[in-house]
Amino acid sequence: MRADQDTGKRIRERREELGLSQRDLDEGTSYSYAYVSRIEAGARTPSLSAVIEFADALDTTALYLATGRDRDCPCCGG
Each residue of 2-25: pLDDT tens digit? 556 899 999 999 999 999 999 999
* Mean pLDDT rounded to a whole number for the chain: 88
pTM (2 decimals)? 0.85
Sign of torsion over alpha carbons 17, 63, 37, 49: positive
Domains, the chain, with CATH or none:
3-64 (1.10.260.40)
* Rounded Cα gap, residues 40 and 73, in angstroms: 23
Q: Which of 42, 41, 43, 60 shows the shortest CA–CA distance to 52?
A: 60
**HSE-up of 59 (CA within 13 Å, CB side)?**
6
